[in-house]
């Protein structure tokens, strides 16, 4: 399933193609298809800053937040209005391939854009407010088993999206018989979901470690479970996995970028080279370590094939759980 694709992907440390000569973006721009505070926003801003620090782009990367349709508004904007722009990259993730797999971007498919590169994989988390009485993931799942409507879980993807699927995978592994009764509320980004969690409108939050890190550091939320095969090292070593609590649920969210389908080959090669150089840098390794990102180093055609396989696997999972027919 999805975990197989993520975890079995071999880290490819190429010698690193040189940045393509003959093209330099004049006004580099990154679209984050959600409001500030979520994973796509994190991807644009961290990558943009690091590209600038490494002198891989001229000046500053402009980050534009374009929320709506769990990425659908931005996807349609790029396909229909900005099809041939060479300065533009767009943050994407497993949430993007999930929506594409479920046909949620009307009239659009993954073939309408070019898939650029990954910059890491982000393990999922299920968290509660810091003052919540819920202490463990099994305790949360028991409450759902007893009364599915009593527990509202929010995330930054649409119903049927990746944040939703992670909860359903965990619920299924925990023995919840009718996972479609799990109460999930969709928000335009993880930041909004956490705001509602802290306001008491939700009992739990489903998202990714990178978008949860700031809220953990501020003491606002407490992670019940990390959806990783084993505990991470370093500052996240104290986060318990779902697996060690008896719930064998793993959910890794790749993070990367697509670009307009009509981007020139020269510009595409430039961006592929820039992101490859970024990924190999010590600066990006530090960003990954500080935000709990796991290795996933894919560029160009290799990344294109990876996304295609991811879309196919998510479509299969969505049918199995009943999200699509």
The pLDDT assigned to 323 comes to: 82
H-run or E-run covering 57:
none
The dihedral through the CA atoms of 142, 145, 150, 155 has a sign that is positive
Quote the CA–CA distance of 55 and 96 in Å, as a whole number.
Answer: 29
CB 127 within 8 A of CB 202: no
The stretch 106-135 carries a mean pLDDT of 96
Predicted confidence (pLDDT) per residue in 16-26, tens digit: 334 445 899 99
Predicted confidence (pLDDT) per residue in 180-226, tens digit: 889 999 998 888 999 999 999 999 999 999 889 999 999 999 999 99
Give 243 or 149, the one with higher predicted confidence. 243
Predicted confidence (pLDDT) per residue in 106-117, tens digit: 899 999 999 999
By percentage, how much of the chain surpasses pLDDT 70? 94
Residue 287 pLDDT greater than 90, yes or no: yes
113-129 and 152-155 beta bridge pairing: unpaired
The pLDDT assigned to 21 comes to: 58
Give the mean pLDDT of the chain.
Answer: 90
Instruction: Using DSSP, state whether 115 is helix, strand or coil.
Output: strand
Quote the CA–CA distance of 308 and 258 in Å, as a whole number.
Answer: 13
The stretch 285-308 carries a mean pLDDT of 93
Quote the CA–CA distance of 91 and 257 in Å, as a whole number.
Answer: 5
The per-type count for the chain, helices as H runs and strands as E runs, is 11, 10
The stretch 234-252 carries a mean pLDDT of 94
Cα 147 to its chain centre, rounded Å, is 29
The stretch 252-268 carries a mean pLDDT of 96
The pLDDT assigned to 2 comes to: 43
Predicted confidence (pLDDT) per residue in 42-55, tens digit: 999 999 999 999 99
- Please report the domains of the chain, with CATH numbers, ordered by start residue: 2-122+252-321 (3.40.190.150), 123-245 (3.40.190.10)
């Amino acid at each position: 399933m999805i975990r197989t694709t993520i975890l079995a992907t071999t880290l490819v440390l190429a010698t690193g193609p040189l940045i393509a000569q003959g093209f330099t973006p004049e006004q580099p721009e990154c679209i984050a298809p959600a409001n500030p505070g979520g994973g796509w926003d994190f991807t644009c801003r961290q990558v943009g800053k690091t590209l600038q620090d490494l002198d891989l782009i001229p000046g500053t990367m402009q980050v534009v937040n374009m929320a709506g349709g769990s990425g659908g508004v931005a996807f349609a904007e790029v396909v229909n209005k900005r099809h041939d722009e060479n300065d533009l990259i767009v943050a994407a993730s497993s949430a993007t391939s999930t929506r594409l797999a479920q046909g949620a971007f009307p009239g659009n498919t993954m073939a309408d854009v070019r898939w650029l590169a990954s910059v890491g994989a982000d393990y999922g988390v299920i968290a509660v407010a810091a003052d919540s009485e819920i202490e463990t993931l099994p305790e949360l799942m028991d409450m759902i088993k007893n009364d599915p409507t009593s527990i509202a879980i929010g995330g930054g993807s649409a119903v049927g999206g990746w944040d939703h699927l992670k909860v359903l995978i965990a619920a299924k592994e925990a023995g919840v018989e009718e996972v479609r009764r799990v109460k999930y509320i969709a928000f335009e980004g993880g930041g909004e979901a956490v705001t509602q969690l802290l306001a008491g409108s939700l009992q739990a939050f489903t998202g990714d470690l990178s978008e949860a890190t700031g809220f953990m550091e501020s003491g606002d939320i407490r992670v019940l479970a990390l959806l990783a095969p084993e505990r991470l090292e370093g500052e996240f070593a104290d986060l318990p996995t779902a697996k060690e609590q008896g719930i064998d649920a793993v959910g890794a969210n790749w993070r990367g970028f697509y670009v307009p389908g009509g981007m020139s080959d020269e510009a595409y090669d430039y961006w592929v080279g820039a992101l490859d150089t970024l990924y190999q840098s010590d600066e990006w390794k530090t960003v990954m370590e500080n935000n709990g990102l796991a290795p996933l180093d894919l560029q160009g055609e290799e990344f294109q094939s990876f996304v295609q396989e991811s879309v196919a696997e998510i479509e299969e999972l969505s049918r199995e759980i009943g999200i699509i027919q």
